[in-house]
């Protein structure tokens, strides 16, 4: 669980509330948490707090069986749309949620990343990290992807950024070898890195 990993959030495992959709008491706690989350009365709105609210939304939906039933159970300002959006954030892959917990991807941006599916979800998340995209930019790219565009094209058209372009910090010896191979083989450094990663992937 991301929220209970001290390496990521600073919380200890026993400090992170777990919600069990099969436990009536836990579902009741999730309902209270969702209502407070929707009304912004559950505490400071930091990233870990938002992930806790997202986890509560997801557990409540599973416990009640539908978004509508979850909203009715939570009450207050918790709407179907609110619960659906935050449940999707909780269902993001762990590799993405860990960056939300660290504050590297804003929870509000994560809501838009969660709107797209499959490989595009990862591409948009990594692009948000590599290019420090604003929430508005993430939202716009997500909308274009859901209209049928690729992340690569939408990112280029809307932000001017290139998908896959990032800055690497390498030890001097590794940097020297990469540049040596690049010059000797008359190949771009990125192509050498890509080939090396593909070779590792083929062996795994």
Q: Kindly report, residue by residue over 16-50, the tens digit of the pLDDT.
A: 568 999 999 999 999 999 999 998 754 455 788 88
List of residues 6+ apart from 192 with CB closer than 8 A: 178, 181, 182, 185
Average pLDDT over residues 81-86: 95
Average pLDDT over residues 40-66: 83
Question: With contact defined as beta carbons under 8 Å apart, do 72 and 12 qualify?
Answer: no
| Torsion angles phi and psi, residue 188, rounded to 5 | -65, 145
CA distances from 157 to 116, 137, 149 (A): 18, 11, 11
| pTM (2 d.p.) | 0.80
> Among the ranges 9-13, 97-101, 179-183, 197-201, which has the highest mean pLDDT value?
179-183
Question: With contact defined as beta carbons under 8 Å apart, do 30 and 63 qualify?
Answer: yes
Q: According to the model, what pLDDT value does residue 41 have?
A: 52
Question: Is the confidence at residue 103, as pLDDT, over 70?
Answer: yes
Q: According to the model, what pLDDT value does residue 18 have?
A: 82
Question: Is the confidence at residue 140, as pLDDT, over 70?
Answer: yes
């Amino acid at each position: 669980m991301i929220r209970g990993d001290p390496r990521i959030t600073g919380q200890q495992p026993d400090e992170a509330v777990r919600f069990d959709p099969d436990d009536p008491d836990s579902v009741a706690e999730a309902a209270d948490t969702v209502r407070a989350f929707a009304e912004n009365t559950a505490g400071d709105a930091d990233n870990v707090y938002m992930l806790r609210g997202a986890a509560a939304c997801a557990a409540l939906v599973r416990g009640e069986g539908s978004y509508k039933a979850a909203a009715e159970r939570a009450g207050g300002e918790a709407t179907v749309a609110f619960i659906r959006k935050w449940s999707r954030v909780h269902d993001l892959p762990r590799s993405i949620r860990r960056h939300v917990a660290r504050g590297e991807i804003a929870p509000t941006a994560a809501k838009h990343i969660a709107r797209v599916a499959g490989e595009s979800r990862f591409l948009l998340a990594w692009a948000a990290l590599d290019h420090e995209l604003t929430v508005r930019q993430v939202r716009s790219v997500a909308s274009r992807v859901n209209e049928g565009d690729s992340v690569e094209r939408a990112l280029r058209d809307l932000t001017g950024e290139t998908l896959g372009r990032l800055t690497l910090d390498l030890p001097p010896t590794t940097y020297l070898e990469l540049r040596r191979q690049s010059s000797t083989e008359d190949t771009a450094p990125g192509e050498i890195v890509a080939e090396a990663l593909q070779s590792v992937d083929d062996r795994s």
